[in-house]
Amino acid sequence: MKVGSGSHVKNAEIDLVPMIDTVMFMLIFFMLTTRLGQKEVDLGITLPGMLSQSGPVDMPDEQVIEVDSKGIVTLNGRMFEGKSLPELVKTLARYRLASEGAKSKCMITIMADNSVDYERVVDVMNACAGAGIKDVTFGSGAS
């Protein structure tokens, strides 16, 4: 099989003008249709940091009642005994009245040991209810 002599291939030239025109049209098209995105700093992300405050914050007045593994109830270093804890009820009632006089929210946190009988924790909760304190939370005590 005989292949052509290729005399017509020697004079072939590539015309670059249409390719340059096409590239220019594509460049203009992409420049006109591209939408510029927002920068990352303009996304409105609030990072944690210091906050400014316009006025005083009303913080609750909190007292911690501890119940140890032997069932001893302690409030501010003072130990309370007895089943119904009558002295604790009187102390908590005075605390509630003092908080109301100072126009602050009174709050009790009960920190009970993990090995204490929960009947003793219920006694402390009953003392809080007897004193008229409704905001009672629990913390984890030492084992």
Q: What is the 3-state secondary structure (H, E, C) of 28-54?
A: HHHHHHCCCCCCHHHCCCCCCCCCCCC
Domain count within the chain: 1
The parent domain of residue 119 ranges over 61-140
Q: Does any domain span residue 25?
A: no
Question: Whose structure tokens read 């009558």?
Answer: 86
Question: Looking at per-residue confidence, does 140 or 126 come out higher?
Answer: 126
Q: Is residue 104 part of a domain?
A: yes
Domain assignment present for 10 = no
pLDDT tens for each residue of 20-75: 999 999 999 999 988 776 555 555 656 666 556 566 555 557 788 998 888 889 98
Q: Is residue 24 in some structural domain?
A: no
DSSP SS3 for 85: coil
Q: Is residue 52 part of a domain?
A: no
Strands ordered across the beta sheet of 78-80:
78-80, 73-75, 61-67, 106-112, 136-140
Amino acid letter, 31: M
106 within domain boundaries: yes
Q: What's the CATH code of the domain at 114? A: 3.30.420
pLDDT of 85 > 90? The answer is no
